[in-house]
């Protein structure tokens, strides 16, 4: 394979954004352009172009459903330039060689997301465009395929750098990207039609691939597939690792459940510190106080702008990553004082609606736990009703326990995480862990609240909590022995509310 001059091009795109520069460059390098419909009209405002109909001898038919599906189009794209038989066919049937194909597919996913009708969605399934992409990509030895408007900028640079020619590596690279485009496009269509039936298949095509230094441990290879810049912008620091991404994901999921000013510190996917306060600086101080030992080397996240005052306090701690929606300039100057510290600016990205993980020889898929309880979810089941401050703390604690590894217990007071017991095989062990940890940092549990990610099968946790001065409890309810726990609360003067929602996290 060798460098080839682009002599002819077929352009058929849905969106015309940023196409003008490409057309001007093709005109500059003397490229013959064929096009269709609205794309042809757009190009004719810039330079000369011929219609596909003039090439094929057939008009666009079926309301535009059939325009480019013709041997004179696909023959020109698929012909092997070094194949004598192909050359004879082109000459016999007067088919011009096509060296470049530029396609931007019908917006199927966008139409689906818009809430369009089934008929409108089906009409946005591209037939000719997807066929053109596959044909040009298959014949990458001789034909270059531009399969997305996102490639226009790089392609324009390529044209100028190589004076309208392309190298074998260029054509192979764009062919690879083209098959990624067609695979993703077809997957979206398949997912939509499968969603209309009970016979769903698991398919996933996520790119680009971002090679990581290693996986969870140095002896494991690791890759992240996806676009991190949709979620955040990295302003400073070293390369993000596999374990960093797990903690960032946990932090991002947690902070999205809070609307009030909140700081959280994440360690091994669990919050070791968290607090909400009208004053972000106080929120940080209270979050750190929850467990200043575990906070060392952790990940910090907030849902408010980080200013100089907060940055000065945060900078006293050694931590790996900070995430915030915005930073003041002087805050950034302070935080950048550590060379490797990762500083991320959050965007308003949304979490996926589904989660999946590999299990045995298959994949588990579930809906993301999107339930975040407020006071409307709380059903008082005891004689005593929680007071306003207790309700606020119960809601706060329940958000935290939702994002903690099961079995999990969270103890909180005044919108501050006092301690949590996470990842325990027994709910009693989780509670004892939380109590011991709270006491080790000098917290009094008198007047605190307790949240559990699942129901209490026995009243033992309630009895232990009562002896420590905890005054209100939130849990899902649903045990056949709920009444036993309710009776202990009534006897000891505790209030307890049920949410009706379990939040296991494994």
CA 465-466-470 angle, to 5 degrees, is 70
C-alpha separations of 128 from 51, 67, 124 in Å: 15, 7, 12
Alpha carbons within 13 angstroms on the beta-carbon side of residue 337 total: 13
- Residue 106: which region, alpha, beta or left (left: phi > 0; alpha: psi -120 to 50)? beta
304 closest CA partner among 324, 330, 277? 324
For the chain, give the number of residues.
506
- Give, as one character, the DSSP assignment of residue 127: S
Beta bridge partners of 355: 366
**Alpha carbon distance 488, 186 (integer Å):** 58
**Alpha carbon distance 396, 451 (integer Å):** 9
Element (H, E) at 169: helix 168-195
Strand-strand pairing, 50-51 and 100-104 = unpaired
Sign of the Cα torsion 319, 323, 324, 326 reads: positive
Could you tell me if 47 and 23 are in contact, meaning their C-beta atoms sit under 8 angstroms apart? yes
Could you tell me if 31 and 8 are in contact, meaning their C-beta atoms sit under 8 angstroms apart? yes
Return the number of other C-beta atoms located less than 10 Å from residue 379's C-beta: 11
CA 18-20-22 angle, to 5 degrees, is 90
Beta bridge partners of 322: 300, 343
Query: Which one of the listed residues 16, 87, 188, 268 is annotated catalytic?
Result: 268
The contacts of residue 46 (CB under 8 Å, 6+ apart) are 20, 23, 24, 27
- Residue 3: phi and psi, rounded to 5, are -65, 135
**Alpha carbon distance 326, 344 (integer Å):** 9
Catalytic site includes residue 268: yes
Query: Which one of the listed residues 138, 162, 238, 439 is annotated catalytic?
Result: 138
Catalytic site includes residue 70: no
Catalytic residues: 138, 268
């Amino acid at each position: 394979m060798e460098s080839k001059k682009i002599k002819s091009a077929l352009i058929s795109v849905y969106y015309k954004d940023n196409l003008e520069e490409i057309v001007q460059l093709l005109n500059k390098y003397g490229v013959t352009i064929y096009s269709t419909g609205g794309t042809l009209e757009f190009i004719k405002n810039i330079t000369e172009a011929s219609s596909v109909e003039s090439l094929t001898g057939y008009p666009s038919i079926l309301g535009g459903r059939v325009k480019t599906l013709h041997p004179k189009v696909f023959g020109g794209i698929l012909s092997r330039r070094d194949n004598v038989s192909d050359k004879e066919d082109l000459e016999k049937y007067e088919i011009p060689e096509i060296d470049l194909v530029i396609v931007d597919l019908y917006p199927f996913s966008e139409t689906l997301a818009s809430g369009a009708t089934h008929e409108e969605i089906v009409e946005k399934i591209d037939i000719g465009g997807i066929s053109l992409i596959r044909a040009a990509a298959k014949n990458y030895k001789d034909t270059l395929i531009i399969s997305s408007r996102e490639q226009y900028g790089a392609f324009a640079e390529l044209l100028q750098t190589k004076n309208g020619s392309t190298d074998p590596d260029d054509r192979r690279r764009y062919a690879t990207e083209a098959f990624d485009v067609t695979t993703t496009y077809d997957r979206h269509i398949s997912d939509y039609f499968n969603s209309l039936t009970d016979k769903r298949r698991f398919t996933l095509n996520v790119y680009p691939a971002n090679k990581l230094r290693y996986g969870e441990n140095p002896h494991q290879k690791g890759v992240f597939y996806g676009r991190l810049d949709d979620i955040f912008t990295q302003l400073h620091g070293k390369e993000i690792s596999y374990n960093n991404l797990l903690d960032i994901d946990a932090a991002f999921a947690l902070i999205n459940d809070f609307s009030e000013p909140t700081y959280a510190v994440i360690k091994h996917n669990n919050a070791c510190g968290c607090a909400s306060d009208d004053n972000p600086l106080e929120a940080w101080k209270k979050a750190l106080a929850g467990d200043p030992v575990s906070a060392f080397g952790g990940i910090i996240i907030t849902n408010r702008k980080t200013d100089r005052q907060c940055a000065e306090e945060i900078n006293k701690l050694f931590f790996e990553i900070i995430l915030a929606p915005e930073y003041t300039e002087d805050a950034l100057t302070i935080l950048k004082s550590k060379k490797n510290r990762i500083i991320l600016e959050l965007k308003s990205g949304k979490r996926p609606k589904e989660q999946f993980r590999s299990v045995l020889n298959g994949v588990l898929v579930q809906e993301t736990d999107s339930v975040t309880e407020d006071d409307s979810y709380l059903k008082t089941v005891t004689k005593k009703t929680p007071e306003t401050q207790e309700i606020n703390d119960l809601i706060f604690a329940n958000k935290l326990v939702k994002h903690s590894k099961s079995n999990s217990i969270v103890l909180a007071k005044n919108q501050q995480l006092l301690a949590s017991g996470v990842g325990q095989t027994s709910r009693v062990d989780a509670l004892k862990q939380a109590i011991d940890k709270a006491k080790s940092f000098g917290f009094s549990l008198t007047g605190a609240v307790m949240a559990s990610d699942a129901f209490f099968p026995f009243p033992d946790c309630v009895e232990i909590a009562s002896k420590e001065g905890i005054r209100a409890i939130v849990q899902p309810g649903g045990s056949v022995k709920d009444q036993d726990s309710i009776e202990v609360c009534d006897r000891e003067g505790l209030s307890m509310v049920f949410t009706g929602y379990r939040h296991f996290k494994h």
